[in-house]
Amino acid sequence: MPLMEFKSTREGYGDALDELGQSHANIALVCADLTKSTESHKFAQHFPEKFIQIGVAEQNMAGIAAGLASTGMTVFMTSYAAFNPGRNFDFIRTQICYSNLNVKIIGSHAGFSDGGDGATHQMLEDVGLMRSLPNMTVLSPCDYWEAKKAIYAACKIKGPVYIRLYRESTAVITKKAGPFEIGKWQTLAEGNDVCIIGHGPVCAEALLAKEKLQEKSVSAQVVSACSIKPLDTDCLLALANSYTKLLVVEEHQKACGLGSAICEYLADKHPVKVTILGANDVFGQSGKYHELLAKHKLDAKGICASVLELLEEKNST
């Protein structure tokens, strides 16, 4: 798989928001002093009358976003995921979700992508927080194009949406013209022996792992599960019928993330073994992005080794 182009998911958000500002009069942006870092600066520069710089006050930002949304605005609320939803969860819960307001919550620099800033900034619990909230939709795009499409799709629906973004420039693995729908997953590569389900840029590592597995005569299907809430239950049931074991990879705690959501659904509908690769009840630490992926077996080498362990376990039973 040639990985020729590298762009960040936060760039996809920034470009989509700027485009939406030109065609949608009722869009507003609020940001907690991280306009450039979150790629919100284009919209802020082009539409200053629709932009409010809140400063380092994420709870206040959520309250202002709720107020704007209550007047009929579609509000994008942007900061690092460690602060949004990490710091302002109560305000998101009671002021935005309880009233089902049209606020799109952008959590940038999620997972291990903010490697240099260490544990305080590496948000590994946000998916669990957000998917637990009534009325909330949760999306985690795998690359630049999927991020752009996720922003457009979020803008079309009413109600709160959490969109998880990443700092690093990572491989562009989907196409501009490819399909995107909330509640639907995308198969990135077909396979027969095992299925790897991921969300976020780690999907690119899963595709690299697929290449390594092919050298060992193992055929892996790779699925981007951008829509974490709602799950693509049709796709999930089809995968559970096709494979006795599923491998979920995510830059998140093993608890409460996509893997947990999959287990919760399949336990009732179609029980199969689900193995989750992620942070195993630990905080992050300072390091380069790919070093941190490798530490948690989320790089291609680690994913490949985990698949082989799964298949060996299958053959020995």
Count of C-beta atoms within a 10 Å radius of residue 142: 31
Q: Which helix (H) or strand (E) holds 152?
A: helix 144-156
* Type of residue at 243: Y
Q: Would you place residue 313 in the very low, low, confident or very high pLDDT band (cuts 50, 70, 90)? A: confident
Strand-pair partners of 197 = 223, 248
Work out the average pLDDT over 246-264: 98
Q: What is the chain's mean pLDDT, rounded?
A: 96
* Exposure letters 26-63 (e unless 16+ CB within 10 A, then b): ebbbbbbbbbebbbbbbbbeebeebbbebeeebbebbb
Q: Is the pLDDT of residue 267 over 50?
A: yes
Domain boundaries, the chain: 6-171, 186-316
Q: What is the predicted pLDDT for the residue at 132? A: 98
- Return the CATH class of domain 186-316: alpha beta
Work out the average pLDDT over 216-222: 97
Query: What digits encode the pLDDT tens for the residues 52-78?
Result: 999 999 999 999 999 999 999 999 999
Residue with tokens 């509908």: 269
pLDDT > 90: percent of the chain: 96
Query: What digits encode the pLDDT tens for the residues 109-167?
Result: 999 999 999 999 999 999 999 999 999 999 999 999 999 999 999 999 999 999 999 99
Residue with tokens 């460690």: 82
Q: What is the CATH number of domain 6-171?
A: 3.40.50.970
Q: Which of 39, 58, 125, 251 is catalytic?
A: 58
Q: What is the predicted pLDDT for the residue at 126? A: 98
User: Do strands 227-229 and 137-139 pair parallel, antiparallel, or not at all (unpaired)?
Assistant: antiparallel
Answer yes or no: 58 catalytic: yes
Q: Is the pLDDT of residue 7 over 80?
A: yes
